[in-house]
Structure formats: C-alpha cells, structure tokens
Amino acid sequence: MRPRGADRILTLDATRIVDCRGIRRDPQANATPLVADLLATGRARIDPLRIGLDIAPDCALIDAQGRPEPRIRVIGPASRAAFWEITAIPDIREQAQTLATELIRQHASA
C-alpha cells in the first residue's frame, strides 16, 4: 500500500481486504491494481457487456472459468453488471446490509 502523496510502500498483514476505490467506465482498461491482478490471474472476469465485474446473485466474484468465489464479494457500482440499479447510496446501503447479514450468519454457523 502506498499512502496518498507518499513515495514509500507499506506492507501490511491482513485477514481481510476491502477495496473501496470505486469502478470506472471500462472496468478492465481502468482497473485498480487489485482488480487488474484478479483479472490477470483468472480470479475475476469482466461481464459480457463490459460494464463491470462478473458476479453471482450473492455478490460472489466469478472467475475466468465461471466459478463463483465466495471469499471475494463485490458490492456497489462494481456489481452493476448483475444488478444495474446499484449506483445510488440507498441501494448500496441495502446491498451492504444484506451481504453483512449473510456473512455474519455464515460465520456464526461455521
């Protein structure tokens, strides 16, 4: 990680990563380093209309072979290929709450 305006790179040990850097018009051409790496290594793919990442109805990222990866979830505008109306904050808020509730349920039953 490089803090804004700094030259130094920080290395952090992390259990979970939340990438909140948004998504731009062409999700592949303008990919953040994290998304570019997921695409390059086949752990993600662009949806057929090239408007976002390909994801499953439960927000799991779909890999290059079409398999959902439940450890990587995508919400907000980055999930617009699956949900389309997911740009306004009230929609994102509801989606985030639904996913958080599901993750807590899974964690509790694990």
Binding site for ligand FAD (CB under 6 A): 4, 20-22, 76-77, 87-89
Nearer Cβ to ligand FAD, position 26 or 67? Answer: 26
Which one, 41 or 87, has the nearer CB to ligand FAD?
87
CB of 9 to ligand FAD, least distance (A): 13
Could you please report the per-residue DSSP string of the chain?
---TT--PPP----S---------SSTTTT--HHHHHHHHTTS--B-TTSSSB-B-TT-EEE-TTS-EEEEEE--GGGGHHHHSS--SHHHHHHHHHHHHHHHHHHHHH-
By C-beta, is 93 or 105 nearer to ligand FAD?
Answer: 93
Residue 68 CB, shortest distance to ligand FAD, in Å, is 21
Task: Please give the residue whose beta carbon sits closest to ligand FAD in the complex.
Answer: 22
